[in-house]
Amino acid sequence: MRVLIQLRPSPDLVAAVADPSVSSMASDVADNLPGVVLDHSYAPVAVPRPMPASLGGDPLSLNQPLVFSMAPQDASVVVRGEIADDEVTSRIALLPAAHRDVVAVYADPAIESSLTCGGDPAVGDWHDVERLLRVPDLTAEGLDGSGVPLAVVDTGINAAYVKAARGHDVTVDHERSWSPQSVSGTPGDFPVDHGTMCAFDALIAAPKASLVDVPVLLSRRQGGSTLDGLLSDAIAAYAHLREVIDAQPAESRALVVTNSWGSFSPRWDFPPGHPGNYSDNPAHPFNLIVGSLAEAGADILFAAGNCGAQCRDSRCAYPDRPIVGANSHPRALSIGGIDTSGTRVGYSSQGPGRLAARKPDVCAYTHFAGSGALGDDEPDSGTSAACPVAAGLVAAVRSRWPATVLAPAQLRTLLRRTADDRSAVGYDHDYGYGVVDAAGIIAALRRRAAKAA
């Protein structure tokens, strides 16, 4: 079984791991772990420690204000390894006693792109999505993604393909892009696939955003498919993205991160209630680092997944509450899907979520003729398409409203409050708070600007 091992070595070692200018190896912090085959190709990653913002608060309640400390005396370090399946229980119990720096052992589940059940033809095309998102109105307000880094965490982007499909130039930020160590290639020049579709869809509302290519799903695990990776690679990617946003000046701080993937099966996870669990566990290192990146100023969006009751993806193995782990994180937006006629698509996962009950947050457009990246006759579909469509809208807002002026939590609230409610009861677990409404967002931002004047 693949596992993540969390350690708290000396502050000097933690500081070295957290310093991007210092090269650290797994053996520097985790040598001689009995029963663990350490993955020496995976560089250790520093993980922040959550602390309540007010006295007496719960440091693991992701729904309350938290401070994420990266101070060397507070932060921890994770490494990756394997434990024999028949020794998992015994080895995990013995590790903290065998190595004084070991804090906990967590699952490192497989993560997969949010593909969808096919067969139904596209409903409208990407120009319909452009119209529904009021892109001309956004552009008139100066909300076009200019100067905003938009990270596509997926299978990699083929910028030349996106440019040809859109008929407009595409900017890839090579310096801020990142790849797992096992992945070779140039940012913006990966094979046309799922990530290229996501990039195309994100640029519908934010055509001038700078794409940050993060091909986490190209990392290969033994026996894995061509569209999956390991959560440990996402942890390393998010640690890099934290460096990206920390390096930005306050007056223009912005980073939008779109994630059209998730964990669909408990097979690679510990069961809920186990301290090493991912799906329901706010203490899992990835759930912590997602919260830390959001608190630093990033807008993080996850696809809700394609495990809706009417048309479940064949990989959906959770018997209920399929929006799991970071896809249900309270500091991220979980995006469901509707078609361009306004109808919820049957594969869009329904809540409640596992880390936060009110998931999905909102719905965005999907199942339209768009990039053609998955085949000439294949629509851009699944919540895989809905998520970057919503991320593009967020990136458009960030053109003039940096995180230091409109905090990520405030922007999440703005999207929920302006959403077009599709139920008679307010929030519901099919549509969330409703469908993203660009006109409502523009009006709300105008009111906010007038108050600040």
Residue 267's pLDDT is: 87
Per-residue pLDDT of 190-249, as tens digits, reads: 999 999 999 999 999 999 999 999 999 998 654 443 345 789 999 999 999 999 999 999
Helices marked H in 119-230 — which ranges? 126-132, 135-140, 159-166, 194-202
The 10 Å Cβ neighbour count of residue 21 is 5
Strand pairing category for 66-69 and 49-52? antiparallel
Partnered with residue 158 across adjacent β-strands are 189
The 10 Å Cβ neighbour count of residue 150 is 28
Residue 7's pLDDT is: 93
Of residues 27 and 98, more confidence is placed in 27
Domains by residue range for the chain, with CATH: 2-107 (no CATH), 126-452 (3.40.50.200)
Tokens 């589940």 — which residue? 109
pLDDT at position 129 over 80: yes
Residue 227's pLDDT is: 41
Residue 264's pLDDT is: 87
Residues involved in catalysis? 154, 194, 384
Q: What is the pTM of this model?
A: 0.93
Tokens of 446: 């105008």
Q: How confident is the model at residue 170 (pLDDT cuts 50, 70, 90)?
A: very high
Q: How confident is the model at residue 286 (pLDDT cuts 50, 70, 90)?
A: very high
Is residue 92 within 8 A of residue 289, CB to CB? The reply is: no
Residue 220's pLDDT is: 62
Residue 118's pLDDT is: 57
In this prediction, what percent of the chain has a pLDDT beyond 90?
Answer: 75
Of residues 432 and 65, more confidence is placed in 432
Is residue 334 within 8 A of residue 361, CB to CB? The reply is: yes
Residue 226's pLDDT is: 39
State the average pLDDT over residues 1-14.
Answer: 93
Residue 230's pLDDT is: 87
CA distance 66 to 388: 27
- Point out the least confidently predicted range of 183-187, 199-203, 328-332: 183-187
Per-residue pLDDT of 396-453, as tens digits, reads: 999 999 999 999 999 999 999 999 998 777 899 999 999 999 999 999 999 999 998 7
Over 322-355, what HEC string results? Answer: CCCHHHHCCCCEEEEEECCCCCECCCCCCCCCCC
Residue 228's pLDDT is: 53
pLDDT at position 11 over 70: yes
In this prediction, what percent of the chain has a pLDDT beyond 70?
Answer: 96
- DSSP secondary structure letter of residue 39: -
Is residue 348 within 8 A of residue 390, CB to CB? The reply is: no
pLDDT at position 117 over 70: no
pLDDT at position 160 over 50: yes
Residue 1's pLDDT is: 87
State the average pLDDT over residues 347-366.
Answer: 96
Residue 239's pLDDT is: 97
Is residue 338 within 8 A of residue 45, CB to CB? The reply is: no
Looking at every residue in the chain, the average pLDDT score rounds to 92
* Cα R_g (the chain), whole angstroms: 21
